[in-house]
A and B are shown apart, each in its own frame.
Chain A
Amino acid sequence: MNLYSLITSLIIKSTTIYFILLGTACAEPFNLQTIINDSLIGKSQASQRAQLRIIINWPDSCEETFTAPTAGFIFFKKSETQHIAQIICTYGSYQGMSLFYEVDTSATIVTIKPLKLPVYNKSPVTEAWGNILASSTVNAFNILNLYSGYGHCGSLTTYDLSGNTPKIIKLRLQDNCDKKPAIRDPEKWKEVEIH
């Protein structure tokens, strides 16, 4: 058992006692790396959400709106010891809202950093609406944020995750929901020059 596992194990043991005292639930021992690895291969379990929350501790406001019977989190790999965790707060009607955290397991103690995502012409956000789509670029993902279920307006943003903070590297924007004819393919929306 390495030091990290030992610390995690100690945390879990403490947490288990805590739950027993409250008489609510008894947490199963778990390993963060297993949760990350399971997520990377698309095998996350719904039960892992509660375990992950013990470590990341996302706010109640996010947990209260999450009603799906799924894990509701996804890890994106930055390096062997650095990952971005997407915590889904709601799946919404046609797109969800998520929080993002950088999870660094390089040291003996896991470091968790909440991330703000830059948004074109607006302040960065911690609560990001949209569907996360895979990107062909390494260390990047796309967020398709629709303004309407019809899909004719919204933004398609590619974020570079390799640095300390996420950066927009590509943006397609269809801001006008009344534009005719309606363009429903986000890849055909106008690309905005990013400085």
Chain B
Amino acid sequence: MSISISASVGLGGRNKPTDVALVQQLLNNTGDHKLTIDGLAGTKTYEAIKSFQKSVVKLFKPDSLISPHGQTIKKLASYNLNTSTTSSDSVLGMKANKFLTLYQKEYSALSKANLTGLSHLIDFIITDTEITDIRWAAYMLATTKHETNHTMLPIEEYGKGGNRPYGKEITVTDNNGKEHKNTYYGRGYVQLTWDYNYKSLSEKLKMGEDLYIYPDKVLDEKIAYQVMSYGMRHGSFTSRSLNKYISGGQCDYINARKIINGTDRAQKIADYAVTIEILLRLCRIATHSKNESFGCLTKSRACVA
């Protein structure tokens, strides 16, 4: 398994958290360092890189900077210990603020609205007792990133169902006898469509007929999250569920795409999931223990391999 970083790490480097964490882990694997694996590049990490470059790589001018194709990363890669590749830790004890920082360092700074959206989403995940596997959280966030075009906010389907099979206006009557003219086009992080799906999810989320009578409620962030969480765990969209692809020692982020759609862009979303899983684990590790197993990083940045 080849080890690589996507961008430079160290003094003056790009320092993407997933790259930094990988370097920190590999440096620790040499036995000469005891860095906190937090994905954040600081003085101790720079010094450790410099020391490694001097004593192992034998650079004439150690500069504390590791480039993606340089000698330092090649040497460091030999310290890959091939630890376990997947584990189903929970999201308990995660620090949301740290995740938001790492996410923006990894990708790019979010607008205020999108940052708020992501902040709410991560809060929902952390407090969702049904999310018993950190990789489910990673895949849900990756799916949301893709399905909302990186906004991390619930969206309305373009065209609102116009000329789609589910786009016909339906008149429904609430408990007070009032009529509502509704169209059950796609709404949410992961879009809910069709009248019977609105009705069914509403009942399963113990909301009576609320979503059926008032479909725009699915644009509410909390409800959109509940729809996504329940739907992806129970196979409400395609009859395939998270558990089928991500469970115990199995972690198939590529085929997990079938929970929502076909396999178009499955690799892209899987890549997001791998990165986000690492970011989530970094938040847990700093909270729990410096010595927590961190196999996902050293193996491949890919639970999907």
Does chain B have a CB within 8 A of A54? no
Within 8 A of B (CB), among A50-85: 64-70
The CA-CA distance from A25 to B186 in the complex, in Å, is 36
Prevailing SS type, chain A contact patch: loop
Stretch at the interface among A1-9, A143-151, A157-165: A143-151
Known A93-B186, A131-B164; contact A147-B239, beta-carbon cutoff 8 A: no
The CA-CA distance from A91 to B196 in the complex, in Å, is 11
The CA-CA distance from A69 to B149 in the complex, in Å, is 31
Look across to chain B and name the residue whose beta carbon is closest to the beta carbon of A177: B265
Partner of A90, one of B149, B190, B191, B238: B238
The CA-CA distance from A134 to B194 in the complex, in Å, is 19
Prevailing SS type, chain B contact patch: loop
Within 8 A of B (CB), among A155-195: 177, 182, 184-185
Partner of B157, one of A70, A92, A133, A149: A149
The CA-CA distance from A185 to B163 in the complex, in Å, is 13
The CA-CA distance from A70 to B199 in the complex, in Å, is 14
The CA-CA distance from A147 to B238 in the complex, in Å, is 15
Q: How large is the interface on A (under 10, 10 to 19, 20 to 34, 35 or more residues)?
A: 20 to 34
The CA-CA distance from A145 to B265 in the complex, in Å, is 12
The CA-CA distance from A125 to B49 in the complex, in Å, is 51
Interface size on B, residues (CB 8 A): 31
Measured between beta carbons, the chain B residues less than 8 angstroms from A95 are: 261
Does chain B have a CB within 8 A of A94? yes
Does chain A have a CB within 8 A of B165? yes
The CA-CA distance from A147 to B266 in the complex, in Å, is 9
B149/A133 in contact, CB under 8 A? no
Partner of B158, one of A65, A67, A68, A184: A184
Partner of B238, one of A69, A93, A133, A151: A93
Closest 7 CB pairs of A and B: A129-B262, A151-B158, A184-B158, A150-B149, A149-B147, A94-B191, A93-B237
Residues of B within 8 A of A (CB): 146-149, 155, 157-159, 163-166, 186, 190-194, 196-197, 231, 237-240, 260-262, 264-265, 268
Residues of A within 8 A of B (CB): 64-70, 90-95, 97, 127, 129, 131-134, 145-154, 177, 182, 184-185
